[in-house]
Amino acid sequence: MVMADFNFELVSPERLLLSEKVTEVVIPATEGEMTVMANHAPTMTTIKPGVVSVKTADGKTERFVVFGGFADILPTGCTLLAESAIHVDELDRTVLENRIDAVRAELEGAGDEKKTRLEQFVAELTKLGEIVIPA
Amino acid sequence: MPSLKDLKNRIASVKATQKITKAMKMVAAAKLRRAQEAAEAARPYSQRMAAVLANIAQAVGADDSAPALMTGTGKDDTHLLVVCTAERGLCGGFNSQIARHARDHVRKLLAAGKTVKIICVGKKGFDILRREYASLIIDRVDLREVKKIGFENADQIGHKVIALFEKGEFDVCTLFYSEFKSVIAQIPTAQQLIPASAGPVAAEASDASAVYEYEPDAGAILTDLIPRNISVQIFRALLENVAGEMGAKMSAMDNATRNAGEMINKLTLNYNRQRQAQITKELIEIISGAEAL
């Protein structure tokens, strides 16, 4: 059976990273990973740092690392607005470490509520590093 | 009357200046193209963002759960102006136009008895506004070292603004930048950032009124989204500014090159005329000397 495909767009503030027909997208939503396929119910969700894996209509799989953002899902298409996104192949440890350092620096002066959020963010980034880059 | 040698020197110096302005124009043209591309590339994101925001704003509606960044503090006593200008001069009236627009605004606010605070992005705006409103400037952001403006730069400014808002430092935030219409037309623009005005976009986005499921809930997404939207707006403003700056610089340098050309023509004419006069004078001297014999 041929799987139904839909439009998927991955957009970062700087540019449009991907705009293609895909059959399946896995999104690291804040409430847990979700797989989006064609005719998904309209959903809007925020995203935590993680890996987006995209299965294109011609059967290839592409993976992107995203650092937060949100997704707008419609039955006919899915738009992922990422705060910043990098192709997995282009990511290396230093980029990730720089980010973690930046967040840690922000942690210093942050209030309680913000602190928890930032700490969570650091934890997510660290985990992400372990998944994507084998030590 | 300048001597022949003086004229010659001046022609040489104007020629050298013309060479510089010509080169600057070409550099600006190349940078303009890149800046335009960057602005173009950033457009999809801000468009989607606006559409999504309008959608959620509709869903949340006049609900009390809407975050303060959207509804404002309910007052408008203290205004924060974020004035974005270029880092470098030599681009015609570009910087002073933005600064003037901001200054008019400040004057109006002060006359109405409001408190005004200013954040300057870019050196030139700071230089201009410092003369009159040095006491109002609470912060400045230097982008001089930044080769290519990335989202992080805008995000930093956005965080700054939001932190100030959370501390209750201001009620209304307005962003000043120059909208890039074309190479010859940049329009200084004021845009209200906080409270976020979803006015015009809300109307056109209503077609996708599908019933969304929200994860977590609409309010939480909105709280997450609005700070991001502020950064995106600032980012867009910065990109427009860069394009505008380069456009203005290009036409300013084009003008300068043309002026230098005119000046060279005038000086050359002068030079030739004087040379001719001198030759004639020498001839007359020789002839009258021969006649006297």
CATH code of the domain containing B278: 1.10.287.80
| Tally: H helices and E strands in chain A | 2, 9
Residues B86 and B101 grouped into a single domain: yes
Residues B273 and B182 grouped into a single domain: no
The span from the CA of A124 to the CA of B16, in Å, is 58
CB nearest B151 (choices: A13, A30, A42): A13
Residues B58 and B167 grouped into a single domain: yes
Residues B113 and B233 grouped into a single domain: yes
The span from the CA of B64 to the CA of B62, in Å, is 6
Q: Which of these ranges, A34-38, B202-206, B285-289, has the smallest mean pLDDT?
A: B202-206
Per-residue pLDDT for B16 more than 90?
A: yes
Peptide bond into A13 cis (omega under 30): no
The better pLDDT of the pair B61, B134 is held by: B134
Residues B241 and B101 grouped into a single domain: yes
A105 touches B at CB < 8 Å:
no
Whether residue B190 contacts residue B105, with contact meaning beta carbons closer than 8 Å, is answered with: yes
Question: Domain-by-domain residue ranges, chain A?
Answer: 6-88, 92-132
Residues B35 and B8 grouped into a single domain: no
Does the annotation count B84 as an active-site position?
Answer: no
The CATH number assigned to the domain holding B82 equals 3.40.1380.10
* A10-22 pLDDT per residue, tens: 988 888 888 889 9
Closest chain B residue to the Cα of A32, Cα to Cα: B215
Residues B213 and B268 grouped into a single domain: no
Cβ-count burial A48-63 (b if 16+ within 10 Å, e if not): bbbbbbbbbbeeeebe
- The pLDDT value recorded for residue B203 is 43
Under the banding of pLDDT at 50, 70 and 90, the label for residue B184 is: confident
The upper half-sphere exposure of residue A115, i.e. CA atoms within 13 Å in the direction of its Cβ, equals 5
CB nearest A74 (choices: B210, B224, B232): B210
Residues 6+ apart with CB under 8 A from A125: A49, A67, A96, A99, A100, A103
Amino acid A111 reads G
Whether residue B151 contacts residue A13, with contact meaning beta carbons closer than 8 Å, is answered with: yes
Q: Chains A, B: CB contacts under 8 A, how many?
A: 75
End-of-domain residue from the set B249, B265, B283: B249
The span from the CA of A10 to the CA of A66, in Å, is 10
Residues B116 and B232 grouped into a single domain: yes
Residues B264 and B227 grouped into a single domain: no
Q: Name chain B contacts of A42, Cβ cutoff 8 Å.
A: 210-213
- The pLDDT value recorded for residue B204 is 46
Choose the mutation target among B43, B46, B212 for the interface with A, i.e. most A CBs under 10 Å: B212
* B42-67 pLDDT per residue, tens: 888 888 888 787 777 777 665 555 67
| Tally: H helices and E strands in chain B | 7, 6
Q: Which of these ranges, B7-11, B69-73, B184-188, has the smallest mean pLDDT?
A: B69-73
- The pLDDT value recorded for residue B209 is 53
pTM to 2 decimal places: 0.82
- The pLDDT value recorded for residue B64 is 56
Domain count, chain B: 2
Per-residue pLDDT for B100 more than 60?
A: yes
Residues B225 and B260 grouped into a single domain: no
Q: Name chain A contacts of B218, Cβ cutoff 8 Å.
A: 44
* B188-225 pLDDT per residue, tens: 989 888 887 654 444 444 445 557 788 777 777 877 78
A47 touches B at CB < 8 Å:
no
Contact B38 A14 (CB under 8 A): yes
Closest chain A residue to the Cα of B217, Cα to Cα: A45
- The mean pLDDT value for A35-54 works out to 87
**Widest CA span in chain A:** 56
Per-residue pLDDT for B74 more than 80?
A: no
B45 touches A at CB < 8 Å:
yes
Contact A13 B45 (CB under 8 A): yes
- The pLDDT value recorded for residue B107 is 93
Per-residue pLDDT for B91 more than 80?
A: yes
Contact A46 B41 (CB under 8 A): no
Contact B151 A41 (CB under 8 A): no
User: How far B64 CA lies from chain A's nearest CA (Å)?
Assistant: 20
Give first-to-last CA distance, chain A, whole Å.
Answer: 40
* A87-119 pLDDT per residue, tens: 877 777 777 777 777 777 777 766 666 677 777
Architecture of domain A6-88: Sandwich (2.60)
Cβ-count burial B177-191 (b if 16+ within 10 Å, e if not): bbbbeebeebebeeb
- The pLDDT value recorded for residue B104 is 93
The span from the CA of B92 to the CA of B78, in Å, is 32
Q: Which domain holds residue B62?
A: 28-249
Whether residue A24 contacts residue A3, with contact meaning beta carbons closer than 8 Å, is answered with: yes
The span from the CA of B138 to the CA of A118, in Å, is 27
Residues B234 and B178 grouped into a single domain: yes
Amino acid B287 reads I
**Which one is catalytic: B84, B91, B120, B173?**
B91
User: How far B222 CA lies from chain A's nearest CA (Å)?
Assistant: 10
B 221-240 residues with CB < 8 A to A: 221, 224-225, 228, 231-232, 235
Residues B265 and B237 grouped into a single domain: no
